[in-house]
Amino acid sequence: MSGSTHLSARDIEEFGRELDRLRAEVIASRGEDDARYIRRVIAVQRGLEAGGRAVMFASVVPPAWLAGTAMLSVAKILENMEIGHNVLHGQWDWMRDPDIHSTTWEWDFASPADQWKHSHNYAHHTYTNVLGKDRDLGYGMLRVSPEQPWHPIYLAQPLYNLGLAAVFEWGIAIYDAEIDKAWQGEKSWGETAGQLGRALRKAARQGLKDYVAFPLLGGPAFLPVLLGNLTANVTRNVWAHTIITCGHFPEGTRTFTEEEMAEESRGDWYLRQLLGSANISGPAILHLLSGNLSHQIEHHLFPDLPSNRYAQIAPRVRDLCERFGLPYTTGSLPRQTASVWRRITRLALPTVSAARV
């Protein structure tokens, strides 16, 4: 692994120790303020959700539709990103609150929490950016690294990536059932069908709520409410897709081979997380709405530290990278998004595979 940078094995160990220290420091200082933070975000989110839906009922007045839809969109974004994703990572388990705990949380997303936890927390966060191991590398349908063999289907990938953005939660739900693994005989079809069934039931409940129950409650506002909910879901999907693809696919992020990952030390692991991730720079509101995945680097180094702390430790991680002469990939949202699309468009075409992106 040290081969991928100029660092010696000893440097990498030291780099790892520094990060371990940083982690220990945050853990020792977790407390009341952090607890208040997540409780407040949850309260704001639920308020926005209830408020947004209520306002939407008054949709005969067009500004009410807009306001309600905007509130609900923000609520859904917060629910998935700053709350759901991070709670499911166990970032708040230390509070010992069964109401805000990774083992009890369920979210407004088509994929059931436990299936997502397996494919995300375990598979993606352990094997980050390792070709053939990290299924999040292109989600089994995108070619995001020149090492992935080309296939004519990829010619259409800019197009279907756009489509994926709109239906992101459904894509992830199907993806989390790991149909590809069943296809390759790595797991049974029975298990896969069971998972798909559960995902479908979960998704049906979410659909019933957004596309039947609330529109019916809206009475004369049936159609506006339905459209408002649809808009909020699509907005959330596109936003989540944008933020998440900016985490590992922009220029500057690296992929790894299984050989590189073999016999990795703790320092090597940290290094791979750093080199495989990219941040998004921007104002505090961007960090909040991205679930602090704008601090993708810090999140990948410390997936279970409370998200409100990432912004606080980011400058120190960056200093550390500077000290060790390591890259720290970051850029504004427009820049990183453009970079992702450039890569996806470029890799739609066949390339000579040896060249690194």
Partner 1 sequence: MLTAAAGVLTSPLAPDDFRAMVNPLWSRQRLSGRVEAVVPETSDASTVVIRPGHGWREHLAGQHVGIGVDIAGVWHWRTFSLSSPPGRPDGLVTITVKAGPGGFVSRHVVRRLRPGGVVRLSQPSGRFVLPEILPARLLFVTAGSGVTPVMSMLRGFALAGDMPDVFHAHVAPTGPEVIFGDELRRLAARFPSLRLHEHHTRPGPGRRARRPTMADLSAACADVADRMAWVCGPRGLLDGAEAYWRAAGLADRLRTERFQPVRRPSAAPGGRVRFVRSDREVVADGGTSLLAVGEEADVVMPSGCRMGVCRTCLARLADGRVRDLRTGEEHGDPGDLIQTCVSTAVGDVDLDL
The residues of the shown chain that bind partner 1, judged by CB under 8 A, are 30-36, 42-43, 46-47, 50, 90, 93-99, 101-104, 106-108, 202, 205-206, 208-209, 213-214, 217
Residue (117 or 135) nearer to partner 1, CB: 117
CB 39 to partner 1: min, Å: 9
Residue (162 or 212) nearer to partner 1, CB: 212
CB 57 to partner 1: min, Å: 12
Q: Of how many residues is the chain composed?
A: 357
CB 199 to partner 1: min, Å: 13
* Residue 331 phi, psi (nearest 5): -175, 170
CB 250 to partner 1: min, Å: 31
Residue (48 or 271) nearer to partner 1, CB: 48
* Residue 247 phi, psi (nearest 5): -80, -35
User: What does the alpha-carbon distance between residue 215 and residue 225 come to, in Å, rounded to a whole number?
Assistant: 5
User: What does the alpha-carbon distance between residue 244 and residue 230 come to, in Å, rounded to a whole number?
Assistant: 21
CB 45 to partner 1: min, Å: 10
Residue (150 or 211) nearer to partner 1, CB: 211
Alpha helices in the chain (DSSP H): 9-29, 32-56, 62-78, 86-88, 113-117, 125-126, 157-166, 168-176, 179-183, 189-208, 214-217, 222-248, 258-261, 266-275, 284-289, 296-301, 310-323, 333-346
CB 198 to partner 1: min, Å: 13
CB 121 to partner 1: min, Å: 9
Residue (122 or 183) nearer to partner 1, CB: 122
Residue (46 or 266) nearer to partner 1, CB: 46
Instruction: Return the closest-CA partner of residue 79 out of 247, 288, 226, 312.
Output: 288
Q: What is the dihedral of CA 245, 111, 83, 167, to 10 degrees?
A: 50
Which sign does the torsion angle of CA 178, 114, 171, 259 carry? Answer: negative
Residue (291 or 306) nearer to partner 1, CB: 306
Structure-block tokens of residue 241:
């897709």
